Structure 1
């Protein structure tokens, strides 16, 4: 797609994405270290299932209140206030939003702490068959749930910083969660009769540390929130109106993953943990690239919409889609081919058994099939939210969720009865539903002429296909059987995995360069 006369693409998106991506990469690498530690300490036991459920509940809601629906509703309104109202109006908006968001979350946290057994029964009903596991889950929820309030306020601070181009600080902040959990597992856990409680307290402590970390950077902008409850403020009311439908539309994939946890609670012990470990590996490329690009383009799209720059809006969306596919397609292939080697290298120590690794590998491949869709959802949804169109993604999300429920029945029952792989059916249903969600979002943007295809896409797709096939050939040629990996030491596993990934990545990049891809194609939102 060529630029319209007089329209310049938004500058600095690649640079900003690189900043967010590098900080997120650090966080995700530490997240993998965290999960290696967790796998060693608690493996895939019943207590591990209980902790992962207690951790997933506030973490899921965090995606709604801190990163998902709230950010998608807040950033466009904040952009309007910056364009039209000035600094005083922005400070007034932030104070009211902080008051309403914080007050709501305090009430929600208190209710959840008091009703922890009910929450456990809702999110893990299968645990009711095991009184000890169910009781532990409720106790852990009481400890972990305050994290939601703290991290959601952190999300508010991060959204403000992102709107002002300070992307590095919010992107670095999750590192503190990983450091907290690693410390809790290695230092605090020996002092607890049940190590899962040490991890739960580590989650709560991380929420406080992350919030405090961002406040000095807001102070420099003179935008530290001073919470004031005022639901009548026009900006707050606009955000609430936009946020209610976005609560569903932006987080369908997360809701589907949570449904996986609910259904997995009825499956054999370890199913929740197997899904957790496999999902964590798909989160690495999703977080480093998909969320990084989505984080960067939302303020840009919102500003373009406020200033009626429709051509630049379309260019930015096209750049974002090409950017995520450049990473998502080879990442999908690598995760499918190297599922066992990656899991064995990272997690097969201590309490995690070879059987757990094998089961996690099956669900990792199923989740990986939806990776492109997960990443596309992240960058396509802002195309609606920046235009304050919340209802279209909601309608699409409802259809995707219903499809996921039907697919759960279609996939889980036969896989459970014939192969004892019910958890794989859950992962596969989630991936197929994500593909449907992404396809419908894309079609909606094209129909509204918000997203326009370029003739250059044919050449770009050809280069992407050739580079991915070349990488696949290298991985298949060099990969060793899973049994060989199990016999190696940690150092041998790590070296072999690094060599595999390095060789595959080098061939992928080399083919791209030889077929015409250049850095200039990625630097600004323009045709490849």
Structure 2
């Protein structure tokens, strides 16, 4: 029985599946990060990995990530394909074309790994500790060469995600990333047992780096194998080479895929710029990764819930005769984003340092590492709503068959990213680099809203007014959270993880409660439905 015969799931059902699977994957990702922090701290191995992972890791997120351009392009086209017998040839052709291109990319990455690291981290040689900088560079080059094959795997994974999602498979794409985390945890655990306390010594940095890179590559391979086997079993395409590029479905995918990939790819240039500035600050690159995971864990879960369920809806309402409904979906998507992200952002800013201490400060991870990561976390939390809101609008453009507009905006933002990095780097340090990203996301969000307003003959601006109330409620919630946390620290000294957990639970819980109490007075249907679903699940017999 093929997936096409299955009844179409509701948005709520899709959201529940994606939420559960993504939560499991994100938890494994967090455990992986904790294992790295405990084993290597914010030292040579993790800093080198931050530079080495910049290219293959970003390709995995860009091309292979759920809601990435490959996923979005495949879903946008295959959900409109009425003849399901055409799906397999389309998928196999796209896989063949992408595989050829990315194989060349992988070879280039392997051969020019040294040049790539010098571009990503140009200030390593200018570090005050020349020997440390040289070791970080050598370790990063070896790691990048090992992970170069992930370029091919990233494209295949992205195609698989889109194919399975278009056929109403949501569990597998959302849960498969845990394989990468699991292999890394196992590899680092074995290495820690083998080396013991010597794992932190500089002379073992190269070995540790190879283990970290190798297990990451194995995890990506397993992730692709899991989904391609499922595709094969349900008739959604195999690994059979095929070059039927004249098919209309193939043309439609490539029409969206090219601009969408280049648009998202400009983020890689921004990442290069960020890492170039970070390479002048010892430990900044790895600290940004530690902070980034704390942001991406809740952001990834919530973004998948919102974007995965809305993207097919945007595609089905792309015809001008359905634009009234499309505009309502846009409003709904942004309000849901605000309800989810604004209070979370405020609470995380208020509790940044206790959160970092609770999650990471074990083993080789010290207090000074927590302070650096905490400052970056505050800056990252500031832009959570803007980041996800921008992604909602990008998906609207994709659904309308327009991948060029987000691309043009992203290209312009490269200039602004360099400008803001330059302006914020010296006064704010590593946190300033993250603050620069928040600024360019705000520019993108504002421009996309303006262009969609013109293209769709006017957006329902009055429908966005509740976002102001949500923002004010989140601000109050953040203030309450910080006040309770500060008072706790004055009267109850933090001595262990349990004390920190109680502090976080009490202050964060009160902050969210205050937010819910205020927003409930706004009488938002989206918020009321959200609360009703929670109550139903909690009190269901």
TM-score (norm 2): 0.86
| Other-structure match for 2:539 | none
Structure 1 position 496 matched with structure 2 position 503? yes
Deviation at 1:69, TM superposition (A): 2.5
| Other-structure match for 2:171 | 168
Find the aligned partners of 1:450 and 1:37 in 2 and give their Cα distance: 51
Deviation at 1:495, TM superposition (A): 3.0
Structure 1 position 111 matched with structure 2 position 108? yes
Task: Evaluate the alpha carbon distance shift between residue 440 and residue 170 of structure 1 in structure 2; reply closer, same or farther with a 3 A threshold.
Answer: same
SS at match of 1:440: helix
Deviation at 1:306, TM superposition (A): 6.1
Q: 1:512 aligns with which of 516, 519, 523?
A: 519
Find the aligned partners of 1:371 and 1:32 in 2 and give their Cα distance: 18
| Other-structure match for 2:72 | 72
| Other-structure match for 2:358 | 345
Find the aligned partners of 1:222 and 1:444 in 2 and give their Cα distance: 40
| Other-structure match for 2:276 | 262
Task: Evaluate the alpha carbon distance shift between residue 188 and residue 146 of structure 1 in structure 2; reply closer, same or farther with a 3 A threshold.
Answer: farther
Structure 1 position 393 matched with structure 2 position 406? yes
Unmatched 5+ stretches in structure 1: 1-9, 416-420, 524-528
Find the aligned partners of 1:310 and 1:370 in 2 and give their Cα distance: 29
The equivalences for 1:108-507 within 5 A come to: 108-129=105-126, 130-191=133-194, 193=204, 194-230=207-243, 232-234=245-247, 235-253=249-267, 255-265=269-279, 267-305=280-318, 309-413=322-426, 415=427, 421-449=428-456, 452-453=459-460, 455-458=462-465, 460-461=466-467, 463-465=469-471, 467-480=473-486, 487-507=494-514
The equivalences for 1:84-95 within 5 A come to: 86-95=83-92
SS at match of 2:79: helix
| Other-structure match for 1:57 | 55
Find the aligned partners of 1:56 and 1:482 in 2 and give their Cα distance: 38
Instruction: Provide the aligned length of Structure 1 versus Structure 2.
Output: 504
- For residues 100-153 of structure 1, the C-alpha deviation after alignment (integer angstroms, 9 at most, x for no partner) is 112222222122122221222222222345322211111011112223322331
Q: Which moved more, 1:241-250 or 1:356-365?
A: 241-250
Asked if the contact 1:79/1:299 (under 8 Å) is kept, the reply is yes
Deviation at 1:28, TM superposition (A): 1.8
| Other-structure match for 1:35 | 33
Deviation at 1:428, TM superposition (A): 1.1
Find the aligned partners of 1:476 and 1:243 in 2 and give their Cα distance: 44
Deviation at 1:167, TM superposition (A): 1.6
Q: Which moved more, 1:247-256 or 1:12-21?
A: 247-256
Deviation at 1:518, TM superposition (A): 5.0
Task: Evaluate the alpha carbon distance shift between residue 317 and residue 513 of structure 1 in structure 2; reply closer, same or farther with a 3 A threshold.
Answer: same
Find the aligned partners of 1:227 and 1:262 in 2 and give their Cα distance: 41
Find the aligned partners of 2:252 and 2:417 in 1 and give their Cα distance: 31
| Other-structure match for 2:536 | none
Task: Evaluate the alpha carbon distance shift between residue 162 and residue 40 of structure 1 in structure 2; reply closer, same or farther with a 3 A threshold.
Answer: same
Q: Which has the higher contact order (CA 8 A, sep 6+)?
A: 1
Unmatched 5+ stretches in structure 2: 1-7, 127-132, 196-203, 531-541
TM-score (norm 1): 0.88
* Root-mean-square deviation over aligned CA pairs: 2.7
Deviation at 1:426, TM superposition (A): 0.9
Find the aligned partners of 1:163 and 1:302 in 2 and give their Cα distance: 11
Find the aligned partners of 2:314 and 2:491 in 1 and give their Cα distance: 49
Find the aligned partners of 2:390 and 2:245 in 1 and give their Cα distance: 33
| Other-structure match for 1:7 | none
SS at match of 1:66: coil
Q: Which moved more, 1:37-46 or 1:304-313?
A: 304-313
- For residues 297-353 of structure 1, the C-alpha deviation after alignment (integer angstroms, 9 at most, x for no partner) is 222222332695333322222211111111111121112111101111111111122
Deviation at 1:76, TM superposition (A): 2.1
SS at match of 1:15: helix
SS at match of 1:351: coil
Asked if the contact 1:319/1:522 (under 8 Å) is kept, the reply is no
